[in-house]
Structure 1
Amino acid sequence: MLLSRVDVSSFSALGTGQSNLHRDNVESGLVASLSALALSLPSEAVPGPAQSSRISPVNGPGQQNPIANDDFYEAIKDAVLSATRDSREFADALQRALSTAIVEQRPDVMLYVLNKGANPNRLCPNLSVLPLHLTAQIGHAECLDLLLAHGAKPDALGVFGETAFHHAMRSPSPDVLIKLAGLGVSIHARDVDQVSPLNMASALGKMEHIKACLGLAKAQPQASPATGAAQRQWVRVPNTRESVPLTPADRGHVWVLNQIQRSFVQQADQQQLLQVTLCNAILLSQLDFCRYLLCAGAQADRPDGLERYPMHLAAASGHADLIELMLKRFVNQGGNKHSLLDQQDVKGFSALHHAAQHKQWDVCRLLLKFGVNAQLRDLQGRRAIDLVPCHLNPIPTGQAG
């Protein structure tokens, strides 16, 4: 997916060279925490206000053409007319002129070029992006309406399978999202890298766009996915020899994680990103993604910035398999299993306290089997057994003390 799709601020008005496009290679539950971290990403150039909003694209009979003395219009006109007609050169000149008018936010010039034969459904040769997608990125409603009136397909896919929604995540305002949803564009669509518009907004730290996406996702029905086994693909964990089977949604999470991680130079910051992401993934029961994060370097014994411990969250959520995996990896890396099992948080709660408080009896039995200290007390002097009403007590009396 293209995080930096088209840098419109560096596109000259009449440039004909290729834009420096490149490809950079977690769903709704993770966007809040990830987006808060993503706000530290360097802001990218966003096109300024329309260069000329005073010009009406249509003139009535007998009216003087208001763009007759417009230098930009004249330059576009010269570029179009200088190309040989009925040739690929002329078609390319029209498409370049159309993309230039979109970037400059000039619907009047767009109308001239479209009337000359520019195709609203053809890639702009200088930017390798569809005109409607470029307009969605800039967020100019009048330009968008003009393209639609001339036959632009709102659900057309770009070169990497992205929709107008993906590009609209870079727009200054989320208003364009509402318009696209009304045209039938799917907010759930994913590109070839399985990145959704919501993933894109999360990676860019666009909080208002994220809120709009979440609202549209609830209102817009989603097609029933294929079975989990059919959707899963093995994904290699960077800088390791390990691979993890991930669903399309989890692969989208990984993409966002990678985008944000690149913005952190310090190893400590990257580690903190892994920890907070792991904790949120546990709470959201995204267990495959948790396995990926553990392989990528997240630590089972380290808290995140909110002093949440992965083992404690897994115990409270009833994820026995994940507890077993974290314990196994911790021991294989040379850790002492009791330092992980008996770890206490700021309230003095251990994993057993959390499991007992949330009535996760299978997890309680598993922790006792691994040798957790059932006599640990919290700051109020309570053992795990003290958090359970007597008639619900599933812990053998001898082990509970």
Structure 2
Amino acid sequence: MKRSGSSDLPLHYGSVPPWLYERMSKLGLSVIEVLLSDYGKDEVIRRLSDPFWFQCFGSVMGMDWHSSGITTSVLGALKKSINPNSRSLGIYIAGGKGKSSIQTPVELLKISENTGLNGNELVRASKLSAKVDNTAVQDGYQLYTHNFILTDKGKWAVIQQGMNVNDKTARRYHWHSENLKSFVEEPHTGIEGINQGKILNLTAQAAKESRSGILEISHTNSEKIMADFARLILPAHHDVQASDVDLKRLGALLYKTRETQPENFEELLLLKGVGPRTLQSLALVSEVIHGSPSRFQDPARFSFAHGGKDGHPFPVPLKIYDETLSILQKGIEKSKLGNSDQLKSVEKLHQMIAKAEESFHPNFDINEVIEEERANSWKYGGRTVFGEAEKPHNQKAIQLSLF
């Protein structure tokens, strides 16, 4: 079986405000619908099993770009919007945080009744993935959320998260059913994390008597740790710094969407009146949908689409968020009627930005970009968990140099 990666994240508390949660649900559904249309169900599962892509997905939704809250918030928003449409989409989400995670077996059995899948096998996969990460390998993180995402053809991904209350971090584990052979023969491609001293590994041969409750994984070769195991470790600082971002990619994006006249995009996008700020967000959403795996190494860059609810790198621009949503939703509806020109145009936007990166040489201060976004936030309906963005007094003009 392929365990596709894990992420270490600073632990954040609090809840997502309703004004953001509703938009996250709509944007999440739109992104999944375009992925399904262009790449299919198996690719949706593969994307969700990738910790780097998942973090970028959460960032483009307006969540805190590096926090543990992305996991529960994104999956909760997806479950809310996808499950009512599961029959048509062919995608189902079970589980959740806390008590909701306990309901995963019941939900999987109900899903199996609707799809004809083997419910007992799905429940077994859910329980074993949790056992491995929570019990078989005791790395200081106690699971508190577990989501099982599957297609109506039986492909699945597990995303679960554990908490370490001592160092205030969370660890997210991603699983993928692709190439599944056995839970008892090398179920991991690797187990790796920040060194915190000795780890109790109940999959070791020496722990035979302790494995009575988890016999299914007793043959795991626990000493084999793959060097290329996917790891995403995010910093503790909340603000977005230059070291968190691929400046060449961000700079090319800003240059093409801000300094190229919007009317030059009209033929491409088939969208009259769309300004540069909306193009900036739309380009990053398009990259989440159409970008190659190598483009998701810097999740902080995707927060330049819709900011973050905590104000980093800037308040969530609700007007821009809603306009981006409207463009995607209209494109999806037209595509269902046989006219996919608008969605193809959104894809071309990503291709244009990627092309521009080839000859772009960044020479700008990312702090000036953030300062400009914050200064203009009131124009775009900027909002955080602390309130609405206000028009700054004695606002200074900021001239960015992107060459």
TM-score range, shorter chain: under 0.3
Q: What TM-score does the superposition give when structure 1 sets the normalisation length?
A: 0.26
Q: What TM-score does the superposition give when structure 2 sets the normalisation length?
A: 0.26
More strand by share: 2
Which has more radius of gyration? Answer: 1
